[in-house]
Structure 1
Amino acid sequence: MADIIQLLPDHVANQIAAGEVVQRPASVVKELLENAIDAGANSIKLIVKDAGKTLVQVIDDGKGMSTTDARLSFERHATSKIRTADDLFLLNTKGFRGEALASIAAIAHVELKTKQEQDEVGTSIEIEGSNVVSQEMVVTPQGTSIAVKNLFFNIPARRNFLKSDTVELRHVIDEFHRVALAHPNISFSLYNNGSETFNLPVSNYRQRIVNIFGNKTNEKLVPVEEETEVLKISGFVGKPEFAKRTRGEQYFFVNNRFIKSAYLNHAISSAYEGLLKNGTHASYFLNLEVDPKTIDINIHPTKTEIKFDDEHTLYALLRSAVKHSLGQFNIAPVLDFDRDANLDTPYHISKDRVNVPKIEVDKGFNPFREEKKSFTSTMSYKKEPTAGWESLYQEIEVKNDNIESDFSDHKFESEVSTGTIFEEDKKIDNGNTTYQLHNKYIVSTIKSGMLVIDQFRAHQRILYEDFLQHITISKAVSQQLLFPLELHFTKQETDIISNLKEELESTGFIFSSILEETMQITGVPVGVPESEVSIILEQLISDIENEVPDSHFSTTDLLAKSMAKSLAIKPGQSILKEEQEHLVNKLFACKEPNVSPTNRTTFITMTVDELDKKFR
């Protein structure tokens, strides 16, 4: 039998590796930005077109590469970061495996220009699908410029899996945020389709957060500082009152590398225990510094997951540090029975010189001397003469001529006995055919048996069809607010709302102004509480950014689904009999009552025969 095992060609192996390293344009952005940081750059510029599908270019002023290094950098497992296997456990750089450029070059058109400081001219290399098209000397400034064009040009199946430009750009910006937050000592800029989206100068960590997420973020931050032999923690957490429904502003950095850790995230959540509303998540921007020997960062292709030697200790330290900061800055209530805050010395007089108080003693004071002063008022008290100290134990008679002892003329207020409008509820009303089960399901009787409705999904379906109709005919009713509602978002979030302004106004929203980071709303749809407006818009922005459920649905459809999900009756909410019956009637008046807007079952039926079988 002939041999059937053979070695794969390099270009095929590179495409396989690209499947792990490059999942979307944001993956290219991450690898190229990390390479620029490893090159010692002080200024990095990121240029994207069509959310990175057409172009991803990173320009830095780092140390650059020689002609040999530039050509060798596109080979598999070529790296300047490690020499031996032991170096894998002492990593202080971003990239180290040598697969990034080789994988990117296998599935795109790549143009590299680089020059070192001591060289007079630089090197230009063009590669298409792992094939070197040209290599020549060029005049270029110090540093490196890598342009990745037409991503997945030779793998159309992978290109078809990419989402819309809005979603892919959101992922690109997320990667840009992660790298920029980890390195406030480097200036970053981002250009999308020729327009400047971010321009982040060199700054401290707090200012970098504010520059990215808006000026309003500054008042939301609480500093966290803790240093032990095992772990050094620095950064900021958000105040509980500014917690969001989404997890967008949650960042962990371990040795300046962004990571995801559900275990450490739980430590933050437990520190906020009792301070957050249900369904909300606190923001945090925390830097953790640990010994490189105690972590393994090569357990995931994207290097966003890290294995710690002692996770339990890190969990305890992180939870304590966050809890201490919340208490220190009076964010969380403190119970301390051994200390009275009223007895604390004010700060402005804590260093003043203490004056010794003067004590004056009345040497002629006699507590047994009879007082001749009498207290006169409408209540007159007559003091009987006393012969001495024995009179202190005698009964004192208090007489008051102004107080009448007869209270017969006085009238006391009493509760008026009124009938209750719910008296009929005491009787069993056989006309009621709906019952709420565990504040989650509505049970109703039908001719064939029993109907069980999921109140959340059913209400979603009702609201979804209502919003679709309002947006289509543009005749939604709006309720005016007494005072304009001002909301604060990031620049990217306000851009999303601006693009949806016409559709939102069709549902009943009225915007008086939409600026770069703020917007004013003077009208909301009927039935929408003012307190829910920010939650609705946050959920809408999150759905648009993540394109729920996928790119095949129109913006109008997505808007109706997002608003229906935000305003629907939540599980655990009790509703009245009349509301239950109204919800049932409205559900079966819908065009598609069987499923929710996300294609989930809204109700089930159980016949009498099926119930009979349960008792056999």
Structure 2
Amino acid sequence: MINLLSNDTIQKIAAGEVIERPASIVKELVENSIDAGAKNISVEIIDGGKSYIRVSDDGHGIKADDIELAFTRHATSKIKEFDDLYSSFSMGFRGEALASIIAVSKVTVKTKNIDEDLASHVEFDNNKMVENKSIAMNTGTSIEVFDLFKYIPVRQKFLSSDLSEANKITQLMYIFAIGNPHISFSYIRNNREVFKTSSKSTRDINYETMFGKDFIENSIDLSFESNHYKVKALVSNNKIYKGNRSMQFVYVNGRYIENKDIADSIERAYSNLIPSGRFPLYDIKIEVDPSLIDVNIHPNKQRIKFSYLDELTDILYKKIYDGLMEANLPKTIKKVEKEDSLISFYDLNQGDGYKRVLDAYKQPADVKDYQPKQSQPLENFFEEESKEDVDFEDLEHITWPNNVSEYESFEVYDNDTDSSEEENIQTSFDLEIEDIRAIIFNRYILIEDFENKNLKIVDINRAKQKLIYEATINNEENISQDLLKPIIVNLSNSELNIFEENKDLFNDLGYDIDLFDESSIAIRSIPYYFDQPSNIENFRSLLDDISSYEKDKKDKVLRSSIAMASSGTNNLSIGQAQVLIKELSKLDNPYTTENGQSIIYNLSRDEFINILNK
């Protein structure tokens, strides 16, 4: 039997395709405000937009006679016929947004057209108009949306957490604010202002609000054109980057788009200039004849087709690469007054954090009473990796003969144990410290297994990571070390919000951080395991990690933090490598890190010979 669906059912099905989540509503309403010529747009959400969304503007408003029609499917003021699709500069044009919103929630509309004396107050509930009256208000429109998917409860179950849904809206608001500097935006989340931009402010002030002060100080301004494209871009240099792509914005004729080919061409320009797994920040605005693009290939209109895509990707790569190279030319040295050097994690940790890891693993009580020694500050806090050897002299007393062939006479003494206790230490994974043959690439320890004719390869970074993790989780409280001088970190509004939402988590991980001013934080204590130079980007990476986790947040961020502390240059001697292997041997599972990465690799003699003979 074939049934003819009711109009209400048809509209709810169609609405489900347009309105996927709260961010979909915000997107549609803000785009309508932009198309209405608004100069000021305010967005407020509660509970990630699930229970309440309000979008207000000072645009030209909707005429009283057009309100009911405006909330009917396929009613639009943007186009009249099909050919208009390829010459339209408006944000939306299909006329489905408003009709879809009233089909899935309760909606209140207040609007006044510029040509009318009174405004209209209209309420929709369950896809029907339930109230329509005249009120007094300024020109513009305010739309409130209550209880998303109230009439499609099955859809509510598929929404993410309030935090996740709110983060999607926050990212969307950044897209609108950065792409429309001629409009003032205000974004309020759970009764708290997240950011506010002003069309009357300078470009740099608004960029500082959105991206943070460091971006302004480390950005490259570019303007160029080709046969079919005009491009204005502000891109980060190689001194600032993020752990994700959340601060990458591309606009075509004012519309935010996502295009993998464009993103790949831009990131290719940064190849070998920023660390692997890190991403540049940029705002790129492209102008092109509308007839050369197709914006009607996806419902959200964020994916478009280009007639001359290769031309665009080539010029983006070349100009950004050239800009980066020019920014990295040797600078003329000028004599300046000596300033106080910035403090690094290394000098504030006094070089013996690794000892505290091992001590914490063996005797947690001793670590609580540990008082770090004074040391001289490093010259540059922003240095990516340490060029200094890790000081293991405080860890173990090591003696070995001058002739490395005499491995049999090696003796390793532990400050906390006598030699008789040392004899009881067993290498449960069959790695004998006297069989260490070499350290290569400052990363791997090579150990020869004579009995099995194998070569064991130990990843130093992962071994340290495992030791630190085990030491940390085996202590009831996280041990911090106070910094001699607070580290001041400038953050964007988005990063500040992430920090404030997770301040307790940072405290639990061993950080002591508080707000320094309206755009920066002061780091006063750090976890004890930071024993080598770090940089501000590492902390930003932690913020990126936190924002992407919904479950097991503390453990995942702890792992990220420890991985950062464990990475870098490892200028170990053979004796120092012995200490590392000995401590690794005490673990129940020395073979993999806490997240399953291999620490020890096995290469048989036959496999080794086969590799050489290939």
TM-score, length-scaled by structure 1: 0.72
Q: Which residue of 2 aligns with 1:385?
A: none
- How many Å apart are 1:595 and its aligned residue? 8.5
Q: Is the 8 A contact 1:440 1:571 kept in 2?
A: no
Q: Secondary structure of the residue that 2:23 maps to in structure 1?
A: helix
Q: Which residue of 1 aligns with 2:512?
A: 510
Aligned amino acid, residue 548 of structure 2 = N
Seen in structure 2, the aligned counterparts of structure 1 residues 585 and 154 have a Cα distance that, compared at 3 Å, is: farther
Seen in structure 2, the aligned counterparts of structure 1 residues 61 and 252 have a Cα distance that, compared at 3 Å, is: same
User: Does 1:494 find its partner at 2:496?
Assistant: yes
Alignment of 1:136-151 (within 5 A): 136-151=133-148
Q: Secondary structure of the residue that 1:242 maps to in structure 2?
A: coil
Q: Secondary structure of the residue that 2:90 maps to in structure 1?
A: coil
Seen in structure 2, the aligned counterparts of structure 1 residues 529 and 535 have a Cα distance that, compared at 3 Å, is: farther
Alignment of 1:174-573 (within 5 A): 174-202=171-199, 203-327=201-325, 330-333=326-329, 420=402, 422-424=404-406, 431=432, 463-464=468-469, 466-470=471-475, 473-474=476-477, 476-511=478-513, 514-529=516-531, 531-532=533-534, 534-547=536-549, 550-551=550-551, 553=552, 555-567=553-565
Aligned amino acid, residue 311 of structure 2 = T
Number of corresponding residues: 512
- How many Å apart are 1:40 and its aligned residue? 0.7
Seen in structure 2, the aligned counterparts of structure 1 residues 125 and 280 have a Cα distance that, compared at 3 Å, is: same
Q: Which residue of 1 aligns with 2:358?
A: none
Seen in structure 2, the aligned counterparts of structure 1 residues 258 and 573 have a Cα distance that, compared at 3 Å, is: farther
Equivalents in 2 of 1:175, 1:32: separation in Å? 12
Highest RCO, 1 vs 2 (Cα 8 Å, sep ≥ 6): 2
Equivalents in 2 of 1:232, 1:279: separation in Å? 30
Equivalents in 2 of 1:29, 1:449: separation in Å? 65
Q: Which residue of 1 aligns with 2:103?
A: 106
Aligned amino acid, residue 589 of structure 2 = F
- How many Å apart are 1:517 and its aligned residue? 1.9
Which of 44, 47, 51 is residue 50 of structure 1 equivalent to? 47
Q: Secondary structure of the residue that 1:326 maps to in structure 2?
A: helix
Q: Which residue of 2 aligns with 1:348?
A: none
Seen in structure 2, the aligned counterparts of structure 1 residues 46 and 262 have a Cα distance that, compared at 3 Å, is: same
Deviation string 1:75-131 (CA, Å, 9 cap, x unpaired) is 222211122221121120101111211222221111111111221222222122323
Deviates more, 1:420-429 or 1:530-539: 420-429
Could you tell me which runs of 5 or more consecutive residues in structure 1 were left unpaired when the two chains were aligned: 335-340, 343-417, 612-616
Deviation string 1:157-182 (CA, Å, 9 cap, x unpaired) is 43233333333222211111111111
Deviates more, 1:528-537 or 1:318-327: 528-537
Seen in structure 2, the aligned counterparts of structure 1 residues 122 and 280 have a Cα distance that, compared at 3 Å, is: same
- How many Å apart are 1:484 and its aligned residue? 2.9
- Which of structures 1 and 2 has the bigger CA Rg? 1
Q: Secondary structure of the residue that 1:241 maps to in structure 2?
A: coil
Q: Which residue of 2 aligns with 1:33?
A: 30
Aligned amino acid, residue 168 of structure 1 = E
Which of 75, 78, 84 is residue 78 of structure 1 equivalent to? 75
Q: Secondary structure of the residue that 2:317 maps to in structure 1?
A: helix
Q: Which residue of 2 aligns with 1:163?
A: 160
Aligned amino acid, residue 332 of structure 1 = N
Q: Is the 8 A contact 1:166 1:545 kept in 2?
A: no
Aligned amino acid, residue 579 of structure 1 = L
Q: Is the 8 A contact 2:431 2:447 kept in 1?
A: no
Q: Is the 8 A contact 2:175 2:256 kept in 1?
A: yes
- How many Å apart are 1:20 and its aligned residue? 3.2
- How many Å apart are 1:510 and its aligned residue? 3.2
Seen in structure 2, the aligned counterparts of structure 1 residues 297 and 456 have a Cα distance that, compared at 3 Å, is: farther
Q: Secondary structure of the residue that 2:523 maps to in structure 1?
A: strand
- How many Å apart are 1:50 and its aligned residue? 2.1
Deviates more, 1:9-18 or 1:485-494: 9-18
Q: Is the 8 A contact 1:456 1:569 kept in 2?
A: yes
Equivalents in 1 of 2:152, 2:469: separation in Å? 38
Seen in structure 2, the aligned counterparts of structure 1 residues 605 and 510 have a Cα distance that, compared at 3 Å, is: closer
Seen in structure 2, the aligned counterparts of structure 1 residues 588 and 28 have a Cα distance that, compared at 3 Å, is: same
Equivalents in 1 of 2:431, 2:140: separation in Å? 83
Seen in structure 2, the aligned counterparts of structure 1 residues 425 and 223 have a Cα distance that, compared at 3 Å, is: farther
Q: Secondary structure of the residue that 1:136 maps to in structure 2?
A: strand
Equivalents in 2 of 1:137, 1:484: separation in Å? 58
Q: Is the 8 A contact 2:444 2:457 kept in 1?
A: no
Seen in structure 2, the aligned counterparts of structure 1 residues 527 and 254 have a Cα distance that, compared at 3 Å, is: same
Seen in structure 2, the aligned counterparts of structure 1 residues 578 and 323 have a Cα distance that, compared at 3 Å, is: same
Seen in structure 2, the aligned counterparts of structure 1 residues 585 and 89 have a Cα distance that, compared at 3 Å, is: farther
Q: Is the 8 A contact 1:185 1:204 kept in 2?
A: no
Equivalents in 2 of 1:493, 1:306: separation in Å? 30
- How many Å apart are 1:37 and its aligned residue? 0.3
Q: Is the 8 A contact 1:126 1:133 kept in 2?
A: yes
Equivalents in 2 of 1:208, 1:185: separation in Å? 11
- How many Å apart are 1:561 and its aligned residue? 4.2
Deviates more, 1:183-192 or 1:514-523: 514-523
Equivalents in 1 of 2:568, 2:533: separation in Å? 16
Q: Which residue of 1 aligns with 2:396?
A: none
- How many Å apart are 1:437 and its aligned residue? 11
Q: Is the 8 A contact 2:210 2:494 kept in 1?
A: no
* Overall identity of the aligned pairs, in %: 30
Q: Is the 8 A contact 2:529 2:565 kept in 1?
A: no
- How many Å apart are 1:516 and its aligned residue? 2.5
Seen in structure 2, the aligned counterparts of structure 1 residues 52 and 430 have a Cα distance that, compared at 3 Å, is: closer
Aligned amino acid, residue 304 of structure 1 = Q
TM-score, length-scaled by structure 2: 0.72
Seen in structure 2, the aligned counterparts of structure 1 residues 165 and 430 have a Cα distance that, compared at 3 Å, is: closer
Aligned amino acid, residue 295 of structure 2 = I
Could you tell me which runs of 5 or more consecutive residues in structure 2 were left unpaired when the two chains were aligned: 334-399, 411-429, 608-614
Aligned amino acid, residue 7 of structure 2 = D
Aligned amino acid, residue 104 of structure 2 = I
